[in-house]
Structure 1
């Protein structure tokens, strides 16, 4: 599953993408995009306390990860992404998130 993209785990990477990256906002997910120097796609997924309890936060991360996994083959290499769950995220399906994500990635100009 993780062969299409590598996870972002370091706090400094998240902070760098938040400050330097471009953001695309929707009611279900916020996408931050930043060009990286390598030829791989890196993804970090975050959920704040506003999203709900641990069950809702985990569900949010799961459905965002699945939506990005479906979108990953169409994403150009050399970009970092941080996907942030919103309050509505745990209540929508991964297909809805996929649709929103594809629109945001198209706006960002990172699709092949």
Structure 2
């Protein structure tokens, strides 16, 4: 199994689990992005990417989701393990370097980022 993939075990899928992260999770705010984290009892991180209702059409949402998923997939080795994360993405200029910068800033604020594997 590739360590750089994005397997189903790393996806936060159940509605109850997602709601628990939004209700009980710690919030970190960034530019056009918000991070909710909650410790879990797993050895991996589980993540969901979500959008507000006013975020463009399906094409724009899916493109933004793919960008964020790719940033997460490439840099997940730099993150601490054992967290459920909900990443709320707001409309804005979508580009890979922009999303990487914004997510890295949020992960650093949350104390999850380490530069060991860059």
Fold match by TM threshold 0.5: yes
User: How many pairs align?
Assistant: 110
SS at 1:99's partner residue?
helix
Query: If you compute each CA radius of gyration, which structure gives the higher value, 1 or 2?
Result: 2
CA distance in 1, matches of 2:113, 2:13: 24
Q: Which runs of 4+ in 1 moved over 3 A?
A: none
Residue in 2 that maps onto 1:85: 89
Please point out which of 34, 37, 46 is paired with 1:33: 37
TM-score (norm 1): 0.89
After superposition, where does 1:8-19 map in structure 2 within 5 Å? Answer: 8-19=12-23
- Give ranges in structure 2 of 5+ residues lacking alignment: none
CA distance in 1, matches of 2:31, 2:101: 13
Give yes or no for the alignment of 1:52 onto 2:52. no
Cα deviation for residue 64 of structure 1 reads 1.0
TM-score (norm 2): 0.84
Of Structure 1 and Structure 2, which has the larger fraction of its residues in helix? 1
Cα deviation for residue 61 of structure 1 reads 0.7
CA RMSD of aligned residues (A): 1.7
- The answer on whether the counterparts of 1:17 and 1:32 sit within 8 Å (CA) in structure 2 is yes
